[in-house]
Structure 1
């Protein structure tokens, strides 16, 4: 029970940290130049530029109907933690609205880059803790569950619509800087969410399959499966090693295989998602 409480506290803490990072990025680098952020946040910023009322209030109002819709499509746990993320972002947007007095750049290129970096890191931290900050994040998760696509790409596509709306208010130059920021945010989010936990799928054809499999199990701690194979030319039956490893473990396994059988054939493929024992539960 204590462990569960600790995990719950850690999850809530990281959701709030991610929301804070995003809020600082918006208030420090985007708002001073009248750039936009993605989705509901971008719409909230448009309303702020028109009325001078802080976007955090608009963000709360915009998210209410989206959450009502999202509750029917995603699980309750995700909705509850996303509600926390959304409220945290709205509050931090209000509390950090003057942070640009301390963290600011006159250079619009620098601001668009760092606005994207902050937004990507903040969004990834929240997503990795199986939550969102509301708005189009909820819509992106619904689409991912239905199609298995990429969250960051969904968000970037929906953000184009926000940019088009913003163009009518701030002009084409601001819209182009905003697109740069959004693209960087999307790439950073992908890197943070997947880059450090990328998995590799190995197929190994070797005459020493039992010896190599034992070394992978004992020295690396990864499970191995034998698949039945037959050489098309030789007609010889042989077990093919099937194994999924982390990017960090890959160099060691390659060396083990090459040292044990220099004539082995190794095929290495990227995997988009891995479920099961020995691997962390995917963020979403």
Structure 2
């Protein structure tokens, strides 16, 4: 357990560093904006610097923006997820302050593409290990836990505000290149982890009782049990069907490996849910 937690901290640290590199060496020098709270911090920093006599760095703003959602996450989502997410935010803010803002290339397209790829690699591996980079991920987790609302709408709204604001204030070319960054990031995250907000897992196991207890102890989810039979052996088994968010995939995978490593699991995208999603 301790080794697993140490690995998780290392992955979160690497992810935070990659995000800071993407911003300070590619996106910020090119005035191309990231997605979510990182992009919002970039945009506010640029507005404050250009239109007021004050200066607020992206790292400080990113930290400040994440404080209220971290408090909400701690109260409503779960301590483990929130702690690692906040660690990621603190480290990313620190790296943003320590690393110099330096232009690697004068080509805005190269900056948009490589900035998006590097940031997405950091985000993708952070998500894959059951943590997040804070910001909208905590908001998404909170909404999926409490109200089961389509969180994609909130991501789209925030990113639209960032793109439109960048276009009005700094030129539509910057906004269009920001779209390139968002598209590249989405594709890379999808390749590393998953961009789908909700997933359905079908778990065929001979140890359903122990597995159900372990899942219920960790995840706030209900599940359906279906009696099945092996196609070749005719051996009776049970299939557990559970719908989770992408942030819970790491925990589910770890539970299955610990309780029944021989279980057959199929995970696929869920596009819509009707009825109860969370365990009361």
Class of the TM-score when normalised by the shorter of the 2 chains = 0.5 to 0.7
1:66 to 59, 66, 69: 69
Structure 1, residues 217-270: CA drift from partner, whole Å, max 9, x if none? Answer: xxxxxxxx5279xxxxxxxxxx799999xxxxxxxxxxxxxxxxxxxxxxxxxx
The reply on whether 1:19 has 2:16 as its aligned counterpart is: yes
Distance 1:31 1:191, change over 3 A: same
Q: How many residues align?
A: 215
Distance 1:110 1:149, change over 3 A: farther
Counterpart position of 1:33: 30
TM-score (norm 2): 0.65
Unaligned runs of 5+ in 1: 202-224, 229-238, 245-271
How far is the alpha carbon of 1:167 from its aligned partner? 2.4
Range 71-80 or range 13-22, more displaced? 71-80
Distance 1:45 1:26, change over 3 A: same
Two-structure CA RMSD over aligned residues (Å): 3.6
For the residue of structure 2 that corresponds to 1:35, the secondary structure is: coil
How far is the alpha carbon of 1:168 from its aligned partner? 2.6
Counterpart position of 2:58: 55
Do the aligned residues in 1 keep the contact of 2:124 with 2:192 (CA within 8 Å)? yes
Distance 2:59 2:187 in 1: 25
Structure 1, residues 63-87: CA drift from partner, whole Å, max 9, x if none? Answer: 1111122223311111111110110
The reply on whether 1:109 has 2:104 as its aligned counterpart is: no
How far is the alpha carbon of 1:200 from its aligned partner? 11
Counting only pairs closer than 5 Å after superposition, residues 1-284 of structure 1 correspond to structure 2 as 4-50=1-47, 51=49, 52-98=55-101, 100=102, 104-145=104-145, 155=155, 158-194=158-194, 226=229, 276=256, 277-278=260-261
TM-score (norm 1): 0.64
Distance 2:85 2:122 in 1: 13
Distance 1:200 1:68 in 2: 30
Distance 2:173 2:162 in 1: 15
Distance 1:92 1:36 in 2: 18
Do the aligned residues in 2 keep the contact of 1:82 with 1:131 (CA within 8 Å)? yes
Structure 1, residues 110-165: CA drift from partner, whole Å, max 9, x if none? Answer: 11111111111111111122212221121122344468799889645532232223
Distance 1:170 1:125, change over 3 A: same
Do the aligned residues in 1 keep the contact of 2:112 with 2:178 (CA within 8 Å)? yes
Distance 1:13 1:184 in 2: 25
Unaligned runs of 5+ in 2: 50-54, 203-227, 240-245, 268-280
Do the aligned residues in 2 keep the contact of 1:156 with 1:183 (CA within 8 Å)? no
